[in-house]
Structure 1
Amino acid sequence: MNLSLELLRRCSVAVDLGAARTRVYLKDGGLIVDQPTVAAVNTRTGSLIAVGSLAEQMTGRTPQHIRVVRPVSGGTVVDIDIAQRMLRFFVGDKVCRAWRRKPLLRAAICVSHDADPLARRAAAETLGGLGARRVELVDTLIAAAVGCGLPVERPEATMIVVCGATTTHIAVLSLGSIVAAEKVQVGGEIIDRAVVEYARIRHELLLPGQSGHPLHDALKDTDPTLGGAEVHGRDVSTGLAKSVRVDTADVRAIVCSPLAGVLDALRAVLRRCPPDLVADLLDRGIMVAGGSARLTGFDDLLSEGTGMPTQIAERPDLCAVEGLGAMLDGRVRPLRLDPLAR
């Protein structure tokens, strides 16, 4: 970790390019971009119509010649050109031109721990479009752990679960490196689809496709004494507007069902860890981060399934980019040996 920290301190900008949201951190400037990773493209001319929040609002509401695309899927850049144009719009042409005048501009970007060479190259080329001459690739798990305030540089076990839009990453860290890690294809979008399917089958209700967490968000602020939450959509048979009250317990069961795969992956990670590290985790527990960390019942499921305390980060959606920013600003110190102990 010492070498990576030295290289990261030379970077001027850090990017967390996620499937759901894009965040850009400027050294000594803080977080300057936090927008949905969405772009609207005119298929006739190829021009970019909108990006970010405005493009996300267009989902399901566009004519045939306008297409709403997501250039990132599963943590991998699948459309480099759209991703570059989207980032250039987010940070502004003036910032890009200022960066290009620097002969050795360095940038950092988060990548998955199991990313193949093609995915790593796509991430580097995306930042190259902003004028970066050198791109440092940082593991998302390590960046998120640093952003959560975990002592990843110490010879002690820390466990991080990053639940994103399409995937969930689980790892045990020690001495700034990954000891064991797993990835499972379960995330916020999978949960959303399960909830939408529940509403269609149980209540014959079609929910709006552009809503992020259609019933999950509605249940957060629901009074338990009411017995459920009221949601709005379109009737399957008549096509007319319809409102129904859904049962809280049913929706919680629907949400927790796909998350069972995360629990299985977490147990697999623990089985591959040395006993000393597992013993450390009994006291420290599990830290949960990522944009989907606050899914209903997620922390309770992990705590009951492992017998370890589970804690959700204070700002789970910003952990990765905040961790990158801490490395850029030099707020993370490498482990140094005490010369008197020799």
Structure 2
Amino acid sequence: MTVSLEQLRRCHFAVDLGASRTRVYVKGMGLVVDQPSVAAMNTRTGALIAVGEFAEKMTGRTPDYIRVVKPISGGTVVDIEIAQRMLRHLLGDKIRRSLRRKPRLRAAACAPYDADPLAQRAIIETLVGLGARRVELVDTLIAAAVGCGLPVERPEASMILVCGAAATQVAVLSLGSIVCAERLPVGGEAVDNAIVQHLRHEHELMLPNQSVRPLELALDGNGLTPYGPASTEIHGRDVATGLARSVRVDTAAVRDAIQTPLMSVLDGIGKVLRDCPPDLVADLADRGIMMVGGSALLPGFDQLLREATGMPVHIAERPDVCAVQGIGAMLEGRIEPLVLDPLAA
């Protein structure tokens, strides 16, 4: 999945297909799409009813003949046809007409670290269906590091933690490449599910699909740290009676419930550091870890990593759009390549 900056400069638009949100960057226009990766289908006619935010609002509120689907899971396209139709509607007629006028339309896309050939092929076919004649794949870790301003082209270590909805990726970068990395099947959705299960088992309470994210309900303030609020009120449906009910939840118990997915992330960071050359680890002691991705905003997550690793931990200015902004910067030619000329004999 190594692609040169010269090839990326020839691309006309870039796509970041995330499990939670889909983002599209068009050369010369900037970020034009930032919508949930959700589509609503009419199962009787096969028609696409809604996409993006409107489709997400329909989740759990539709009649039998309307199905709300997520064609992207963990950065992998699981339904190419619906993903193509969703992208067409998200782009709109005006942007699609301007792209169709480009001779030999080229596209770039973010792909998860260590994505298998089948997953890469699904991403390529999705964009080919939009009219792209050629598709370049860029590792999400590299794109996110560029987007948050890390000096990835220098001969020094940069550590990045991409906290996605379905997966977490951690890597050490140097000289514009990945030195060592790990992809963990744990993300914001796993933490959400741990909280949902805790509320169901301990309080016999079910949360509606369209409620505010469980994390934001249960973990306000300092969230994962003991300095946060002692308790918080949660509204949901009683499992036994089906009636609306409110309970006051001990946030310490919630912190215990989500330790399992968070410990998996810490284990992944430890494995990457163990595989990393000592010289680069020495750099990281001062530079620390950069967190990007929507789940990086989990209250107190950065403090938890800081205490567990003893390293500085920083959150990017706009962690949710770092990957697409990084690949957009490559398209626009704002990144200077590192030239390593062979020495003359």
Do both share a fold (TM > 0.5)? yes
Aligned partners of 1:303 and 1:257: how far apart in 2?
Answer: 18
Compare 78-87 and 102-111 and name the one that shifted more: 102-111
Question: Displacement, 1:304?
Answer: 2.0
Tell me the alpha carbon deviations over residues 4-28 of structure 1, each in whole angstroms, 9 at most, x when there is no partner. Answer: 1111111111111100000111112
Contact 2:153/2:337 (8 A) holds in 1: yes
Matches within 5 A, 1:95-114: 95-114=95-114
CA contact (8 A) 1:256 1:301 kept: no
CA distance in 1 between partners of 2:193 and 2:228 (Å): 27
Amino acid paired to 1:280: D
Per-residue CA shift, 1:106-131, capped at 9, x if unaligned? 11100012111111111111111221
- Structure 1 residues 110 and 331: CA distance shift in structure 2, 3 A: same
Aligned-partner Cα distance in 1 for 2:130–2:287: 40
Q: Aligned-pair distance for 1:170? A: 0.7
Match of 1:34 in 2: 34
**Counterpart in the other structure of 1:204:** 204
Number of the residue aligned with 1:151: 151
Contact kept? 2:156, 2:175, Cα under 8 Å: yes
Q: Do 2:77 and 2:122's aligned partners in 1 also have CA atoms closer than 8 Å?
A: yes
**Kindly, what percent of the aligned residue pairs are identical?**
69
1:253 is displaced (CA, Å) by 2.7
What stretches of structure 1 move > 6 A for 4+ residues in a row? 222-226
Q: Distance in 2 between matches of 1:164 and 1:297?
A: 16
18-27 or 127-136: bigger deviation: 127-136
Q: Note the 1:25-104 alignment, pairs <5 A.
A: 25-104=25-104
Bigger CA drift: 33-42 or 212-221? 212-221
Instruction: Say if 2:124 is the partner of 1:124.
Output: yes
Structure 1 equivalent of residue 294 of structure 2: 291
The answer to whether the 8 Å contact 2:40/2:50 transfers is yes
Equivalent-residue separation in structure 2 for 1:218 and 1:198 (angstroms): 11
Structure 1 CA distance for aligned equivalents of residues 158 and 14 of structure 2: 24
Partner of 2:11: 11
CA 1:108–1:2: 2 relative to 1, 3 Å = closer
Q: 1:209 to 1:283 in 2, by over 3 A?
A: same
Structure 2 stretches lacking a partner, 5+ long? none
Does the CA contact (< 8 Å) of 2:217 and 2:234 recur in 1? no
Could you say which residue in structure 2 is the equivalent of 1:281?
Answer: 284
Question: C-alpha distance in 2, partners of 1:204/1:30?
Answer: 46
Contact 2:36 2:52 in 1 (8 A): yes
Provide the TM-score with structure 1 as the length reference: 0.94
For 2:212 and 2:25, locate their aligned partners in 1 and report how far apart those are by CA, in whole Å: 24
TM-score relative to the length of structure 2:
0.93
Matches within 5 A, 1:129-144: 129-144=129-144
Distance apart, 1:222 and its partner CA:
8.5
Partner of 1:335: 338
Q: Secondary structure at the match of 2:127?
A: helix
Provide the C-alpha distance between the structure 1 equivalents of 2:111 and 2:5, rounded to a whole number of angstroms.
16
Query: More deviation in 251-260 or 184-193?
Result: 251-260
What displacement does 1:94 show? Answer: 3.1
Deviation at 1:166, TM superposition (A): 0.8
Instruction: Give the Cα–Cα distance (whole angstroms) in 1 for the partners of residues 17 and 285 of structure 2.
Output: 33
For residue 169 of structure 2, give the secondary structure of its aligned residue in structure 1: strand
- Structure 2 contact 218–249 (Cα < 8 Å) conserved: no
Distance in 1 between residues matched to 2:212 and 2:166, nearest whole Å:
13
Q: How far is 1:30 from its partner? A: 1.2
* Aligned twin of 2:195: 195
Classify the secondary structure of the residue corresponding to 2:261: coil
Of residues 306, 311, 318, the one that matches 1:308 is 311
User: Of residues 254, 257, 276 in structure 2, which corresponds to 1:254?
Assistant: 257
- CA distance in 2 between counterparts of 1:146 and 1:15 reads 15
Quote the Cα distance in structure 2 between the aligned partners of 1:48 and 1:301. Answer: 43
Aligned equivalent of 1:322? 325
Residue 179 of structure 1 aligns to a residue in which SS?
A: strand
SS at structure 2 position matched to 1:258? helix
